[in-house]
Structure 1
């Protein structure tokens, strides 16, 4: 049985950052990841100082290589399937898909999120010509003929206004959803076209969008765009471990990653149930690790 001070589930920016900080704090840490991070389809990461334009898998490899300097850190390329705590025992028992078992005093959940798209075929273009974050990819799409795909008016208006900052050649696609007269007028004042017809198919090659065909047969040429997905946590641990959430599904914390469940910490997109930048996720991983180390030090002093 492997006994650790802390396990970190998820090797995205939040998990890597948390693991690094804990390793440098002389704690024994197990970092677990199964390679299903949602940014694996992204061609470049942007907005992270000193690493602007670096491919996500390269950023990950740089992070993993940095961890090798710290002998108390172990990396496991596997999926965590179970995290349990026996009554009267302060430790957590962790099992992986390959039947390995671990014991840890603390757990950091940094498993990120996964997307559900309003149009299934968006995934064929996602990360190459259709994106979800203008701050990450708006610069590369500037001045191109773009689309915004969203099915709820709040998000239609928000994303259209935001993307307009990078390109004024913009078409809002609601895929059959309605938009209010007031909302439509706000966009039309900026010459943003609105298409409420359902989408028949997206047309392109090798992940690069060329056009959109609607149910009516109309085709409009577009070079890419942005989509508003819905998000879900890919693991059940937040609920299984009894972490309190608010009415929006956001995990309740103390601002340092401590959840309402003792010895369970959370960082990155997993906490907010919303997308986050690499920079913010890494910072939140650092904060959670500081909380873990502070608690361990206090409890053992």
Structure 2
């Protein structure tokens, strides 16, 4: 019987496991190594780790965790979590574990616009988070793909890093003349035609082709993605979700299923950034320890 099983080995799950391990608890981290940021070459915004690859970050984290003999790491895929009285039964693809508490840190996955070849460029020259990758794209001629009302705001954020922008709504959103005015004033081109193809070499964007026959040269850009849960484990376990698709939790990560917690991007309470996810993992793990101590007393 484990005190806590952490499902998911991204920054939130890793930091949660660290806090739990250092609290002398019997802990297991289960991770299938299918991280959302695996498509990127470098991670940014985490002090002392700025510029490392996701693989380097994970390896360094595992090295930290392996110094605690009460903490086990299992590479496997969790397929089901059910609560039987006060105990959680966690089924993986190969075995079954039992635990007093469970932390879900399974993260999110990106749903990209329906654009030909877009996955060839995502994580290489097309990105979602300007705080994560804006510095590397600074002052370049950039494409900004937005298919919703975020077209009114997202390009303004990207403008902070480069004022050479083309806003493309991919035929899904049209701006009024009044809405276009502040962009046109700053010479930001607006393309409302559908994108038929992205063209480039080795993941580096070079040309964007539109349905009306227009083509523009771009060296990369940013894209609005839709974030969805990476797994259905929380829903299957009976957790309620928020209106935006996150797992409903209180401020300490408790879900609507007693003893089951969620942290990091999974809860969708903060922008999906490495350092914010890690911080949330630490906070939620501390609350798990508090709840275990309360039960023990």
What is the TM-score when the length of structure 2 is the normalising length? 0.96
Contact 2:79 2:233 in 1 (8 A): no
- Verify: 1:298 aligned to 2:288, yes or no: no
Query: Match of 2:89, SS?
Result: strand
- For residues 274 and 215 of structure 1, what CA distance do their matches in structure 2 show? 36
* Residue in structure 1 matched with residue 211 of structure 2 by the alignment: 215
Contact 1:249 1:273 in 2 (8 A): no
- Verify: 1:116 aligned to 2:111, yes or no: yes
2:152 to 149, 153, 157: 157
1:168 to 160, 163, 174: 163
Instruction: Kindly report the root-mean-square deviation, in angstroms, between the aligned alpha carbons of the 2 structures.
Output: 1.3
* Residue in structure 2 matched with residue 231 of structure 1 by the alignment: 227
* Residue in structure 1 matched with residue 202 of structure 2 by the alignment: 206
Deviates more, 1:102-111 or 1:228-237: 228-237
Q: What are the within-5 Å matches in structure 2 for residues 14-33 of structure 1?
A: 14-33=12-31
Query: Match of 2:69, SS?
Result: coil
- Measured after TM superposition, the shift of residue 275 of structure 1 is 4.5
Contact 2:228 2:245 in 1 (8 A): no
- For residues 45 and 270 of structure 2, what CA distance do their matches in structure 1 show? 18
- Structure 1 residue runs of 5 or longer lacking an equivalent are none
- For residues 235 and 248 of structure 2, what CA distance do their matches in structure 1 show? 12
What is the TM-score when the length of structure 1 is the normalising length? 0.95
User: What do residues 37-82 of structure 1 show as CA deviations (whole Å, max 9, x unaligned)?
Assistant: 1100111111101111111110011001110000111111110001
Contact 1:231 1:274 in 2 (8 A): no
User: What do residues 177-209 of structure 1 show as CA deviations (whole Å, max 9, x unaligned)?
Assistant: 222222212211221100011111000011100
- Measured after TM superposition, the shift of residue 20 of structure 1 is 0.3
Equivalent pairs, count: 295
Contact 1:78 1:97 in 2 (8 A): yes
* Residue in structure 2 matched with residue 272 of structure 1 by the alignment: 268
**Structure 1 residues 269 and 250, CA gap change in structure 2 (3 angstroms):** same
- Measured after TM superposition, the shift of residue 273 of structure 1 is 7.1
- Structure 2 residue runs of 5 or longer lacking an equivalent are none
